[in-house]
Structure 1
Amino acid sequence: MIDSSYWILFIVVSILPIWASLKLQNTFNKYSRVRSLSGYTGEEAARRILMINHLGHIGIKPVRGSMTDHYNPIQKEIGLSQTVYSLNSIAAVSVAAHEVGHVLQEADHYNALTLRHKLLPVTRFADSAAIPMVFLGAITSFQGLAWIGIILFSFTTLFSLVTLPVEFNASKRAIVALSQSGILSDEELDGAKEVLNAAALTYVAGAAVSMMMLLRLILIYGGQNRD
């Protein structure tokens, strides 16, 4: 039986992603209106940092949407969203530098990033199979199947936890790169930190929700076994 304190915590944790998303949007919008003194666009900032680090072979392309920025390690290509690629705001260069941070991690063989890459295949499978297996196990009263689903779901939780140091480290590298390259001044770096910290909160919220969901599944099916 799950007591009321769990449900209160569950509700609070469930609200976190909404709050984190709104905070990120507000912070990004705020610094999207502040032009960088250097005049670098997101694409130019990313290119400069890559060249300084002898990584000029990495491609950069515009992608549709907002907050769709990413680094594709297979294609060796950075995708920058429409609100980042061609704009010269503090928000744009900060996000672009963060994606370059992932490239720097890969070049340095950053352990957490290597682990995340290894977890990715099983996590993709778990994302699609875990919950259906749990429900199928519940419907058929086949507890073994439900527990297999829970174990699979634990991989998605582990992936979200491993993602945290990867994202925080990429942001740390971004701030250092923006400073050393002269793309942002010391005063502008405070704004960049605000943007990247707000982005990091979305990953923290996601990890918290995943852990809470895993705990809920364990409590439900663990309680059934005890019964």
Structure 2
Amino acid sequence: MDDLEAELRELGGWLETPAAPDVTARVHDRLVGRVPGWRRWRAVAAAALVALVVAVLPPTRAAVADALGEVLRFAGVGIVTSSTSSPPGDEPSPLPSLRTVGLDEARRAVRFPVRVPAALGPPERVSVADPDGTGACRVATLLYDGGNLRLDAFDGRLDLTFHKRTSRPGAEWTQVDGDFAVWVDGPHVLSYVDRSGQIRRETARLAASTLIWEQAGVTYRLEGARTMAEALEIAQSLP
């Protein structure tokens, strides 16, 4: 916590806070009646601080992103840092109702644009998964390099679609075309979260380094790029 406090104090010296609704009163009202005795003032201050930092945290502040990993929700992805993580032991099952389709069919199967990065060109394989009651799929995936490089796209309006657990600090803020993004540097366990919000443990697998960002209501996961610079080049080439 000492490192986090120092980092937050440093942020306070140069951070320009954008105009936003004042949430302090609401945080206080919710906590005052729930936290007993002498711990109350600490809970109020901590909650308000977390709300502020998550709202305005700029790129490259990796230490703060790591420290807040247990509560971080970015676009449709939950990132959790933990020292107890371990790779799944069994072969994971695919995403719900996963099927391989052509690119044109994938575009008809989802409610959001399926964009092909110019830096990669046409995908080797395309799949869609998790249809709703109308048949509209929730996830579209473009696969390259024999499946080692993949771009997942899904409806960003959903609160949580993928859940990550990293075995070491590695969540770093960056930008894609001016929008906030997160780079997860190194292997991490990835699980799918179904429509009810439940983590599907049977889908857990060990994932490669990943870039996560949101554009125009669609959340993207680019997995398998060797470096953050390479991942950003691919992401910024989306039409």
Task: Compute the TM-score of the two structures, normalised by the length of structure 2.
Answer: 0.23
Task: Work out which structure has the larger RCO, using CA pairs closer than 8 Å and 6 or more positions apart in sequence.
Answer: 1
Task: Compute the TM-score of the two structures, normalised by the length of structure 1.
Answer: 0.24
Q: Which has the larger radius of gyration?
A: 1
Between Structure 1 and Structure 2, the one with more strand by share is 2
